[in-house]
Amino acid sequence: MLDVTPILMEQFSLKWRFTDPRYRVLPPVHLEQVKPLSLDSSRRLWDLTLPLHKDLPFTPGFFRVVESIPLDNAEPTAIRAVRKWLFARGVPFKTPVYLSYQPDEAIATTWKMVIKYWDDFWYPGSDDLTIVDDSFAWALLFWHESEAFFGDNRNRPERRRTNG
């Protein structure tokens, strides 16, 4: 695991996304799995992810595979479709992941929480959000212009498609 220091949710500038009734209040059991990071940890994560983005969505040649999905519809069926797409990326639910918004805003959580609450972690028009795990073998970019990109260097077996 990356060496990160969490802070209290009350100290996090984006806490309203998870605690304000005007948006969505996460259940306590889920909220405790969203760990805002200290300023030093956020900056360290930002510095680690910067080399990924020398071009959009990722530095050319950084990942062997880059897949994307549009995020331009807030309808429940579209939100579920993105959840399915995220699930299909093959990251185990319990994988610790790090969400980097800005040099001073970051979160540690699990991949399962990203799948479940991606539309609360990311807001269109305002957020560029990079998500990585300890391996840096993959990265997810939620781009402010309503598209998600998944770059992957993992050696995963090809999924076979069947007709019928």
Q: pLDDT of 109-140, one tens digit each?
A: 999 999 999 999 998 888 899 999 999 999 99
Domain membership of residue 158 (yes or no) is no
According to the model, what pLDDT value does residue 161 have? 39
pLDDT band for position 72 (cuts 50, 70, 90): confident
Closest CA to 42 of 87, 88, 2: 2
Residue 164: is its pLDDT beyond 50? no
Domain membership of residue 100 (yes or no) is yes
Domain membership of residue 157 (yes or no) is no
According to the model, what pLDDT value does residue 156 have? 67
Domain membership of residue 23 (yes or no) is yes
Gap between the Cα atoms of 5 and 163, Å rounded: 48
Q: What is the DSSP code (8-state) at residue 56?
A: S
Domain membership of residue 2 (yes or no) is no
Our count of domains for the chain comes to 1
- What average pLDDT score do residues 95-101 get? 98
| Residues of the chain above pLDDT 70, percent | 94
pLDDT in tens, 41-57: 999 999 999 999 999 99
Helix 111-121 / helix 76-87 crossing angle, nearest 10 deg? 150
According to the model, what pLDDT value does residue 74 have? 73
- What average pLDDT score do residues 87-96 get? 97
Name the phi and psi angles at 149, rounded to 5.
-125, 135
Longest dimension (CA), the chain: 53
Residue 102: is its pLDDT beyond 70? yes
Using a cut of 0.75, tell me whether the model's pTM lies above it: yes
Average predicted confidence (pLDDT) for the chain: 92
Domain membership of residue 159 (yes or no) is no
Residue 58 belongs to what domain range? Answer: 9-152
Domain membership of residue 39 (yes or no) is yes
Domain membership of residue 4 (yes or no) is no
